[in-house]
Structure 1
Amino acid sequence: MTYLSRATAAAGAVLAAAGLLGAGPAHAAARDPFPGTWLYLTVTKGDSEAGGTYGSLLRCDPPRGHVHAAEACAELAAADGDIGRIPAENVICPMIFAPVTAHARGQWHGRQIDFRQTYANACILRARTGAVFALDE
C-alpha cells in the first residue's frame, strides 16, 4: 500500500496544474524546421519525377549543406534569391537532348521560393543556374 503525505499530494496537484497551463493552445502554429535562408534543391534526370533524382539542402546563414554552398549562396544573394535572375555563363553546350529538371523550394530571407525548370541538358542547367544546382560535382 502506498501512502502520500498531504505535502506530496499538494505538490503533485500544483505541478499538474502548471503543466496544463504551460501546454498552451492545441492549435499553436508549427515552427519552420529550417529557420532563416534555405533551399531544398533537386535535379531530376528526364523531364518528370520518374527519372533519377538527387538533392541537397542549401543553407546560407552561414553557407553549408551543399557541395558549393558559398558560391551558390553568393550567386543567390546577387540575384536576391531569384534563380531565374542568375546571370547565364557564356559557355558552349552540346546540342544533345538529355533533359534535366531543377527544382528549388524553401525560403530566401523569409520569402517563399518555389522554382522549377526543365533544361535540355546538364550543361545548359549549369550555364543558367551557376553553382546552385551543381549537386553532383
Structure 2
Amino acid sequence: MRFITRSLGLSSVAMGLAALTALAGSGAAGAAPSGADSLYAPSALVLSVTDGDDAASGTVLRAVTLVCAPRAGGTHPAPAAACSEIRANGPELDALAQPRQDSACTREWAPVTVTADGVWQGRHLSYSYTYANSCGLRNSTGVLFDF
C-alpha cells in the first residue's frame, strides 16, 4: 500500500507540473497578439516537500504550484515573495536553503527533501535539497519552501 501512495504522490506532482507548463506557455493571463506564443517566458514550478533523503522514492508530504510570469500566482501561500526570491537568486537556489543565523536545531537525522521542478524563464529547472530534519527546513532563510 505504501508503494501506491508514493506513486500517486509523484504522479500528482508530475500532472501539476504538466498543467503549469501548459498554463505558463499559453499566455492566458497576459494574452499575446495573434500569431505569437506569449509575451512572457514561462515560469511555472511545482514545489514539494518529501519525507526522506531521496525525492524519487520518498513520500510527498505536501506540494504547491508557483507561477511567476506574467504575474505571481499558484497555490503557494506567498507567491510574490517566492517569485522575488527566485529572481534574486537565479536558478541557483542553494542560498534559499541556508539556515538563518539565529536558528538552532537538534542534530537528529530525519531527512526531508525539497524540490522545485518546472520551467523558469523558459528553461527547465530541477532543484533538490535535503535537510537533516524538518527543523532545518523551518529555519531556512527563504520563503520559497515555506508552505
Q: TM-score, normalised by structure 2?
A: 0.61
Alignment of 1:105 onto 2:113: no
Work out the CA distance in 1 between the residues paired with 2:97 and 2:88.
9
Choose the corresponding residue for 1:67, options 74, 77, 93: 77
What does 1:6-25 align with in structure 2 at a 5 Å threshold? none
**1:67 partner SS:** coil
**2:143 partner SS:** coil
Counterparts in 2 of 1:52 and 1:114: CA distance versus 1, 3 Å: closer
Q: How many residues end up aligned between the 2 structures?
A: 104
Code of the residue aligned with 1:53 in structure 2: it is L
Choose the corresponding residue for 1:82, options 92, 111, 127: 92
Q: TM-score, normalised by structure 1?
A: 0.65
Work out the CA distance in 2 between the residues paired with 1:97 and 1:115.
21
Contact 2:113 2:129 in 1 (8 A): yes
Q: CA deviation at 1:93?
A: 2.2
**1:64 partner SS:** coil
Work out which of the two has the higher radius of gyration on C-alpha atoms and give 1 or 2: 1
Q: String of CA shifts for 1:26-81, please: whole Å, max 9, x gaps.
A: xxxxxx41322111111111224333432111111211111121221111111023
Code of the residue aligned with 1:92 in structure 2: it is A
Q: String of CA shifts for 1:82-118, please: whole Å, max 9, x gaps.
A: 2123373222222232210111111111121111222
Work out the CA distance in 2 between the residues paired with 1:97 and 1:126.
15
Unaligned runs of 5+ in 2: 1-20, 26-41
Alignment of 1:46 onto 2:58: no
> Quick one: percent identity of the two aligned structures?
34
Counterparts in 2 of 1:92 and 1:121: CA distance versus 1, 3 Å: same
Contact 2:117 2:125 in 1 (8 A): yes
Work out the CA distance in 2 between the residues paired with 1:133 and 1:118.
12
Code of the residue aligned with 1:132 in structure 2: it is L
Work out the CA distance in 2 between the residues paired with 1:102 and 1:54.
10
Work out the CA distance in 2 between the residues paired with 1:51 and 1:105.
16
Counterparts in 2 of 1:114 and 1:87: CA distance versus 1, 3 Å: closer
Contact 2:97 2:129 in 1 (8 A): no
For the aligned residue pairs, the C-alpha RMSD in angstroms reads 2.0
